[in-house]
Structure 1
Amino acid sequence: MTDPTRLSVIVTTYNNGRTLRACLESVKWANEIVVLDSLSTDDTLAIARNYNTRIHQHRFMGYGPQKQMAVELASNDWVLLLDADEVLSPALQDELRQLLQEAPAADGYEIARQEQLFWRMSHPATRMNHFLRLFDRRQGGVDDMPVHAAPKVRGRIERLKSLLYHFGETDLHAKVEKINAYSTGLVEDKLKRRRWGLPLIMIFYPPWFFLRSYFFKRNFVNGWAGFINSVVAAFYVFLKYAKLYEHHQFARHGTDLFPEGAPPVPAARRD
């Protein structure tokens, strides 16, 4: 019978040399660390080899399938799913060790994530998002969302008290690159969901999202970093629906709206 206190930490990587060392340092006490790498070209693998890790490589299949494959590579039933730019706070490390020693009472646990906001970390008074990261893989797995893939678990879900640090938003350039890639990746998913009323969504939803982020999630306590982050977040939701609207217009008009004799101008592929 599998010991319920044993933990496999799962980390998916691609060119994460900047943050991977801190990530692995915070989980080196775990029974097992599995790294699934998407064919990195930087020093990611060299860093991973400095820790007691089991390293596998596979071409990137999409966020959901890649993370699910990593989960299936684990040897233990209880897994902690991390991105390579996430780091367990010292308090969270202690809380996890205590929880696993006592045997978890729930089937999964959500963890609050404190975000890097460009030149600072978010203020503790910010309303943080909670993510399901620690779970019994016998009770579920990772969904197949093209971008924001997450575990789905049957049974009881509880929340831990301590924080997970996220060092992903290094600067505005990186943030804008990420939302541009994410919003493109979500077009196909939204096509499946048949979203209509796009012009109205583009007009009204981004301002509402800014207010929600800046005031309701208390990003105002983060000063100008919080204001900028809320504006970019509103732009992200605008981009998601603007790109979906653009897709429909290309499908509807083709090159009919270009001058006669103009060369065909298909939308660029961004695989």
Structure 2
Amino acid sequence: MAREPLSVVVTTFNNADTIEACLASVHFADDILVLDSGSTDTTRDIAAHAGARVDVKPFAGYSAQKQAAIDLALHRWVLLLDSDEALPAAAAERVCRALESPDVAGFELLRREWVFWRWQSDRARLNHYVRLFDRTRARMSGHEVHESIVVDGPVRRLDAVIDHYGERDIEGRVDKANRYSSLQVHDRRTRTPRHLRLRMVVYPTVAFLRYYLWRGHWRGGWAGFVAARVHAFYAFLKYAKLYELRVSGRLRLGASLRDEGRDE
């Protein structure tokens, strides 16, 4: 049975180490669009060599950049990937099958995380995100960080897993926690939550336990433990920076709004 034509869209910035594997995993797509935000490495050359259409746009924020990429897609159905993600063969088959007669406006896909030096345990909880969607019925959420696809219509979850390579070391994960926490504060600067000092004390422990125990990352050995600790630190930074903003009235974003980096 013929399927709906598919556009794959990817946003990039200095992702020469991951973009080739990302694009190779979606070779079956009818259209591949890479929107780069000014890479100084060979990202654009690699993407063009892989057969992708390559466009360049100064980074406008995670959500706005991805929406710009979606708007450049040639087809109605879009698969949104990050530059450090890849679609295994089994997931590609399920995506193609879902597009044979799509009866919803979007599909959620699961995501498996590379945690420093190993894949997360198969028995840990996988995050799930809308990544395959009818772009005439969907849009980016507009958040500065942890942006998502908002779908006008029903959504169904596919039994398809995206491999996410993310940060390869602890330093990269901590840097990301620092950058993303500043962006979250920028997102919430006009609606600061109450009891910030109590949240700074309590919530990091709650975040650690939820990530490590409830989501099952304890099954990932020391990699899971370290990731849970960094996640707790991220939770602490969000509230500490909100408190700093409240008492000083200043928020320093540095280069975080200009650096496309890698998504969660």
TM-score by length of 2: 0.93
Matches within 5 A, 1:80-99: 80-99=79-98
The answer to whether residue 59 in structure 2 is matched with residue 75 in structure 1 is no
Tell me if 1:270 matches 2:254.
yes
What is the CA distance between 1:269 and its match in structure 2?
Answer: 5.3
Rounded Cα–Cα distance in structure 2 between residues aligned with 1:66 and 1:183 = 19
Which deviations, in whole Å up to 9, do the C-alpha atoms of 1:46-94 show, x marking residues without a partner?
1101122111101000001100000000111100011000000111011
1:216 aligns with one of 214, 219, 224: 214
Equivalent residues, number = 254
Q: Distance in 2 between matches of 1:64 and 1:176?
A: 22
From 156, 159, 163, the counterpart of 1:161: 159
Equivalent residues of 1:4, 1:78 under 8 A apart = no
What amino acid does structure 1 have at the position aligned with 2:26? Answer: V
Return the offset for 1:192: 2.2
Structure 1 gap ranges (5+) = 252-265
Aligned sequence identity (%): 43
In structure 2, distance between residues paired with 1:154 and 1:30: 24
Higher relative contact order (CA 8 A, sep 6+): 2
Alignment partners' CA distance in 1, 2:93 and 2:253 = 46
SS of equivalent to 1:59: coil
TM-score (norm 1): 0.91
Shift of 1:194: 2.8
- SS where residue 49 of structure 1 aligns? helix
What corresponds to 2:147 in structure 1? Answer: 149
* Stretches of 4+ aligned residues off by more than 3 angstroms: 266-269
Q: State the 1:225 CA deviation.
A: 0.4
Judge conservation of contact 2:183–2:253 (CA < 8 Å) in 1: no
**1:40 deviation in Å?**
0.3
Q: Which residue of 1 aligns with 2:227?
A: 229
Query: Which residue pairs with 2:27 in the alignment?
Result: 28
Quote the Cα distance in structure 1 between the aligned partners of 2:96 and 2:3.
Answer: 12
Compute the RMSD of aligned alpha carbons: 1.3
Deviation at 1:268, TM superposition (A): 5.2
